[in-house]
Amino acid sequence: MTNTFYISSTTKTAPRVNEVLFRRIKDEVLGSNYELDLMFIGRTRAKTLNFKFRQKDYATDILSFPIDKSMGEIYMYPAKVKSKAKEFERTYENYLVFLLIHGLFHLKGFDHGSRMESEEARVRALFKI
């Protein structure tokens, strides 16, 4: 079996993640052959990417970039994830997985809306998130 899921970090605040759980969720949403890079980044890079690709001048918690039908990248800014977790009354660990699921559906081509929300809810229920 080839590795299709890579996790890296350019920040000291990268969370410890359950790689088995993250891979299972990735495989459920995108399939086992989809190649995904998950990168934990700092504020400056999160802000730069968000401005460059979305014209939003702030650091966001997650950005998803499909490269093609079988490959994509997700960038997460852990400090923002941590602050948003409190806002949504979730634990940091739970919100991290919640966001991963959200980002995966963007990679799959979904836009915000009821169909995306119902698909996310299905996967959250499956993995008890």
Whole-angstrom Cα distance, residue 51 to residue 57? 5
Q: How many domains does the chain have?
A: 1
| Spatial CA neighbour of 81 closest among 97, 65, 57 | 97
Sign, CA dihedral 19-25-29-33, equals positive
Is the whole model's pTM more than 0.85, yes or no? Answer: yes
Distance CA 45, CA 51 (A): 10
- Please give the residue range of the domain that contains residue 83: 5-126
Do residues 70 and 34 touch, judged by C-beta distance below 8 A? yes
How far is Cα 36 from Cα 101, in angstroms, rounded to an integer?
13
Query: What is the identity of the amino acid at 81?
Result: V
Q: What is the CATH number of the domain that holds 42?
A: 3.40.390.30
Each of the 129 residues of the chain gets a pLDDT tens digit; together they read 567 899 989 988 788 889 999 999 999 999 999 999 999 999 999 999 999 999 999 999 999 999 999 999 999 999 999 999 999 999 999 999 999 999 999 999 999 999 999 999 999 999 999
